[in-house]
Structure 1
Amino acid sequence: MAHYRASESKREQFRRYLEKSGVLDTLTSVLAALCEETDKPNNALDFIKLHLGAAGPEPAEAEALRTEMADLQQKFNLLMEENKELRNRLVQYEPSPDNETAE
């Protein structure tokens, strides 16, 4: 009998923890949203993941984002190199601060 009360106490502590951290409210609202759906989704777990924010981008979308990021990184590197070259060329045409004070 004591074992039953100990585990019941642990369950009650865990329940309070979930309630205090907002997990119960969040789960309740997601399940309520699922209940209110007129067209129930084929996969309820995907619906829950999506509404909890656990579902990441689709693999095709993630691959497209990776490709776009690689392209943008390459463009960035080219622009940085061009900027460096233009700065070096600009230095050739600007008078140095030493020449201005000597005049």
Structure 2
Amino acid sequence: MMRYKEEKEVKKEAFRKYLESSGVLDALTKVLVSLYEQNDKPSSALEFIQQKLGGPSVSEYEKLQAEMSNLQIRYDELLAEHQQTCKELEELKISNAMEMPLTKETIDEKAHKVVL
């Protein structure tokens, strides 16, 4: 039981050092001090913290989600259109190849037309 507690304490200390070395503790401390110093406390402390840490507000996030949804729909439409166009192109290639087998005469005629 004692060993488990020691391991847990070691993990906690390692995590604390990680947060400290990566600047997380400093950033959180600054944001919390800023919140503490607010004369008029915001209605949503969580939203205040998110904004101070550089995240979007709830309304900005909702706008971004809606924009992403619209862009995904447009992407899907364009992808389907592209796939249909590629299919039509392949069909045209196949039908063109079937209609006009290339012979030496047709190749010579095309070359002659290009020269003129």
TM-score normalised to structure 2 length? 0.50
| Matches of 2:46 and 2:21, distance apart in 1 | 24
**TM-score, length-scaled by structure 1:** 0.56
Q: Match for residue 59 of structure 1?
A: 62
Aligned residue for 2:24? Answer: 23
Give the structure 2 partner of residue 78 of structure 1: none
Q: Amino acid of the residue matched to residue 62 of structure 2?
A: P
Q: Which has the higher contact order (CA 8 A, sep 6+)?
A: 1
- AA partner of residue 46 (structure 1): E
CA shift for structure 1 position 16: 0.1
Cα drift, residue 55 of structure 1: 1.9
Query: 2:33 corresponds to which residue?
Result: 32
Q: Deviations over 1:57-102 (max 9, x none)?
A: 25358868x8xxxxxxxxxxxxxxxxxxxxxxxxxxxxxxxxxxxx
| CA RMSD, 1 decimal | 2.4
Moved over 3 A (4+): 58-64
Q: Name the amino acid aligned to 1:49.
A: Q
Cα distance change on mapping 1:7 and 1:33 into 2, 3 Å:
same
Instruction: Assess, with a 3 A threshold, how the Cα gap between structure 1 residues 12 and 61 changes in structure 2: closer, same or farther.
Output: closer
CA separation of 1:60/1:25 partners in 2, compared to 1, >3 Å: closer, same or farther?
same
Identical amino acids, percent of aligned pairs: 45
For 1:14 and 1:58, the matched residues in 2 are separated by 30
1:43 corresponds in structure 2 to 44
Count of paired positions? 67
The runs of 5 or more residues in structure 2 that have no matched partner are 71-116
